[in-house]
Amino acid sequence: MILLLQRVSRADVSVSGSTIAQIGRGILALVGFERGDGDAELSRLGERLLNYRIFSDDNGKMNLSIQAIQGELLLVPQFTLAADTSRGNRPGFSYAAAPAEGLRLFQQFSEQLKSQYPKIGCGRFGADMQVSLINDGPVTFWLQSTNNK
């Protein structure tokens, strides 16, 4: 499982010209699933996402989580995060979870997080989405489970 986290001032996701989710200050999390991902990866990276300290405290130090600042979270499924880019000029997707499994994992992950933290919006799995964001910093982090590594 892979999460690409971007600290944002605001972000939104649209499908066919209609905004389906938007957030203010918080985290835009692009979410990718790899073959073999399961409950352990969802739980571990979900916990890390909610507790990852990427927001500044009063001393300007990244010391606060999204929960501490009561920020918002936008989850956007993105299977291309699991691409194999190690050779050639075209990415391969043999490491990515199959579409049906990716959908199941994304739904499970988003429901798991929503049960712990209410300020969450979601993109639409399998849709052609347009994502807009104002990256705050910029601050971007890559979190990855180790199941296939």
Residues that are catalytic: 78-80
Question: Alpha-carbon distance 68 to 53, whole Å?
Answer: 9
Instruction: Give bridge partners of residue 75 from the DSSP assignment.
Output: 29, 122
How far apart, in Å, are the Cα atoms of 112 and each of 42, 46, 61, 66, 117? 8, 8, 29, 16, 9
> Rounded to an integer, what distance in angstroms lies between the CA atom of residue 130 and that of residue 34?
23
Between strands 72-77 and 120-122, the pairing is parallel
Locate 144 and state its tokens.
């990855």
